[in-house]
Amino acid sequence: MMFFTFFHADNNEKSNAIEKLIEQSTPRPDFFLLVVLSTALATLGIIIESVPVIIGSMLLAPLLYPILAIGMGLSISDKRLIGRSATTLAQGLAVAIISAIIVSLFFVKRNDLAGVDLPRTATLVDLGIAILSGFAASFALTKKSLNESFSGVAIAAALVPPLATLGIAIVRFNWTLLQETIVTLIVSIVGIVLTSLFVFVLFNFHNKKTLVHKVIETEDKGVKDAIKKAEAIE
């Protein structure tokens, strides 16, 4: 009984969580700018072996939001939210990989990084990290008192370093590293989605589908209006 009491959130907390999740996973220009900046920083951080730079890049990255939004969509059986979030995530991953490749082309040579300890696949460890990160992120997002912990969870999720490593692996023609990193990335994303699905189900978000659609419509309208203004200026 105490276990389910632990997963209690009032309507205000649920509404705030939905609004923040959808807002932060909306494919705006600033979303993709943060993806580019975070991946570029992570790539440079790996090249110069700087842990602080890599940590800083993870703080900037917004990719955790669309992953959690997929979990939210699954928890309330909403195809619209799932499709929207998956599209944003796919676009974000593509932009991140392209950014990592471009940065690597300027700063990495085939024979560089021979002694650098690049990320390797440790599937069980990665799965454990993804499960714990997904749990912590979805819990912190829902509970207002824990919202400030979300940035720390973004670091733990470590989604950006594998993307940066993908770019380096492609530029170095290191197909073994490429395959290992892809596995790591898939395991991380799937682990976070499944764990967040579990948490959102326990928090009983299923009666918030109407709010989800309302927020999506508001955010999408904002994006369309921004595009129209930009076209008008041109």
Interval 145-204: pLDDT, tens: 665 556 666 665 678 989 999 999 898 888 888 888 898 899 889 999 999 999 899 888
pTM, full prediction: 0.88
Q: Does any domain span residue 221?
A: yes
Number of independent structural domains in the chain: 1
pLDDT of residue 115: 42
23 located within any domain: yes
Structural domain contains residue 218: yes
Domain annotation covers residue 223? yes
Digit-coded pLDDT (tens) for 93-115: 999 999 999 999 888 765 455 44
Q: Give mean pLDDT, residues 44-58.
A: 87
Is the Cα dihedral 141, 144, 148, 149 positive or negative?
Answer: negative
Q: 4 in a domain, yes or no?
A: no
The dihedral through the CA atoms of 52, 165, 130, 220 has a sign that is positive
| Residue 54 banded pLDDT, cuts 50, 70, 90 | confident
Closest CA to 24 of 69, 54, 59: 69
CATH code for the domain of 110 = 1.20.1080
**Does residue 123 belong to any structural domain of this protein?**
yes
Domain for residue 6, yes or no? no
Percent of the chain with pLDDT over 90: 33
User: How does DSSP classify residue 7?
Assistant: T
Average pLDDT across the chain, whole number: 83
Q: Which residues of 63-78 are buried (b: 16+ CB within 10 A; e: fewer)?
A: bbbbbbbbbbbbbbeb
Higher pLDDT, 94 or 213: 94
pLDDT more than 70, % of the chain? 82
Residue 98 inside a domain? The answer is: yes
The residue with greater pLDDT, 37 or 224, is 37
**What range defines the domain where residue 84 resides?**
11-233
